[in-house]
Amino acid sequence: MMKRAIVESTADAYLELLAARGVEYFFANAGTDFAPIIEAYARRGAQGQACPRPLTVPHEVTAVAMAHGHAMVSGRPQAVMVHVIVGAGNAVGGIINAARSNVPVLFTAGRNPITEAGAAGSRDRHIHWAQESFDQAAMIREFVKWDYELRSFAQLETVVDRALTLAQAEPQGPVYLTLPREILAERHEAIEYADPARAAAPAPRLPAPDAIAEAAQLLAAARNPIIIVKAAGRDPGAVPALVALAEALGAPVFEQFHTYMNFPQDHPLHAGFDAAAHLEDADAILVVESDVPWFPSLKRPRPEARIVHLAADPLFSRYPIRGFPTDLALAGTPRLALQALADAATARVPGATAVERRRWWQGEHARQRQAWAARARAVKADAPIEMAWVSRCVGDLVDDRTIVINEYDLDATQARFTVPGSYFASPPSGGLGWGLGAALGAKLAAPDKTVICCVGDGAYIFGAPTAAHFVSRAHGLPVLFVVFNNRAWNAVKRAVQSHAPDGWAVRTGAMPLTELDPSPDYELVCRASGGHGERVEDPARLPEALERALRIVKDEKRQALLNVICKKP
Ligand SMILES: Cc1ncc(C[n+]2csc(CCOP(=O)(O)OP(=O)(O)O)c2C)c(N)n1
């Protein structure tokens, strides 16, 4: 059906289309290029017309991470708009994260006026000369699925629909649209467009039946099959399918470097977070949505082990190098492919075999959990506080309505995630600064859930905290932030230790470029935006401090931050 909407400009028509296509939020960090957009928002607001809700986000790192966080929870792409090349420059790290996480984002930037005079929107600020670039998308083209510059009003519907469908086509990811000010400012009276859209992302895909049968046969024939998974839980529907497959095989599931909740941690076949010790015993390995199932330089499977990779893009085709041995690659929607494999495996694996294997792994599962619990008990009274204890205390707060965003330092062995869509960890690309914004975006997408954001003190600083706390207050997004404060970049220290275990840095104890001392009073940064902020140094008082903070988040709907002073590495 065609719809006709009254508009005043291209910018106005653009907002009309975004709203019609279901984009709910417009995360914006504005500049002079936004003038026609802001004018259009004002008109549409005054006249009661639908728009994506505009949110001022005073740093691009936060804006992109919010769109990332929203989409990873809701599954729906949102719009981000930043200021020409300089705003895009600040956003690049976040776009790299979204790309490597396969999260759809409609990333947009104003395009500096091209004309020096003569058009509505021509240059009228001194920056308009220096902010033009030869190829605005160049700085980010490698990490978006598509980029385009809006060239005329006539193509607006096609461009918006193409951007949104490409972002949502598997493997999903960000797209980049630049919006020249003259085009946005052009006067128009109406736009006619198809409503609903005549554009669609490809439907979910199942690998060919004979490939499923071959993979099922390969796994069923194994004596000791194992499953390694990282990001299948990006689609919460993949979790029950993975459970069905693991049960059909009686095979353990290792969440290796996991970025999502993929498999219930309390399931007897959940075998923890490190498959390395079992690689040599495995004669068949199913690698599910995992770019890095092991480190070949440290430990690899036996050469004769048969290996199946299953993912939307099992070759990880945007990675320059990735050479994990592969006997069979299944490309398709993990939810469908895993269920098909489960059905095919059930028919091939004798029930008694699955039960016997499961019994063995169940014992392993129980031993593991006891060891993890013992670790928390052993350090619970340690001062300065051990991160394992912080993790256990945070883990104890997790219920069926909790979402945890983890950008460093929550040790998943000390928590128990059992609900799909309840746990999100740093993107595979590891661009720091993601956590705070992702938590705010998650809260926006799931306002009834409790959102807890775990960050290292380093990650906290990268997350543009003043902007994040501003957004929390300004847009009513109460989140509990827990800063695991070890006053260092321990990840960098660990890299030095493993690079040169007997080297100068280890022997002398001198590790320049890794210290975050003196540590700021991070709790005050949250308080500066009306939040609750508390510093915690006594391990015994941590549980009550967490509960107090959580009550403030839930009852008073105010953000809270605990600055937990942890042992310095
Ligand atoms: C944008 C960006 N810059 C630098 C790094 C390198 N880096 C990886 S981890 C890390 C330190 C993180 O510190 P913190 O959050 O305090 O956690 P910790 O390592 O102390 O556990 C750094 C600087 C990165 N991943 N991303």
- Average pLDDT across each block of 10 residues of the chain; the chain has 569 residues. List them in order: 97 98 98 95 98 98 98 98 98 98 98 90 93 96 98 98 98 98 96 98 98 98 98 98 98 98 98 98 98 97 98 98 98 98 97 97 98 98 98 98 97 98 98 98 98 98 98 98 97 95 95 96 98 98 98 98 97
Distance from the alpha carbon of residue 52 to the mean position of ligand 1, in angstroms: 34
CB neighbours (10 Å) of residue 32?
17
Give the ligand 1 atom nearest the CA of 569. Answer: 20
Distance from C-alpha of 420 to C-alpha of 304, rounded to nearest angstrom? 34
> What's this model's pTM, rounded to 2 decimal places?
0.98
Give the ligand 1 atom nearest the CA of 409. Answer: 21
Cβ of residue 237 lying under 6 Å from some atom of ligand 1: no
Distance from C-alpha of 370 to C-alpha of 310, rounded to nearest angstrom? 32
Structure tokens at 306: 């048969």
Distance from C-alpha of 171 to C-alpha of 315, rounded to nearest angstrom? 11
Cβ of residue 408 lying under 6 Å from some atom of ligand 1: yes
Q: What are phi and psi of 278, to 5 degrees?
A: -110, 0
Distance from the alpha carbon of residue 428 to the mean position of ligand 1, in angstroms: 13
Distance from the alpha carbon of residue 426 to the mean position of ligand 1, in angstroms: 11
Structure tokens at 345: 């495996």
Give the ligand 1 atom nearest the CA of 488. Answer: 20
Distance from the alpha carbon of residue 489 to the mean position of ligand 1, in angstroms: 6
Distance from the alpha carbon of residue 492 to the mean position of ligand 1, in angstroms: 7
3-class DSSP state of 16: helix
CA-nearest of 556, 487, 460 to 468 is 460
Distance from C-alpha of 567 to C-alpha of 102, rounded to nearest angstrom? 35
Q: In testing the pocket of ligand 1, which one of 92, 257, 432, 516 has its CB within 8 Å of the most ligand atoms?
A: 432
Q: What are phi and psi of 529, to 5 degrees?
A: -110, 30
Give the ligand 1 atom nearest the CA of 484. Answer: 16
Note whether 437 and 29 are within 8 A (CB): no
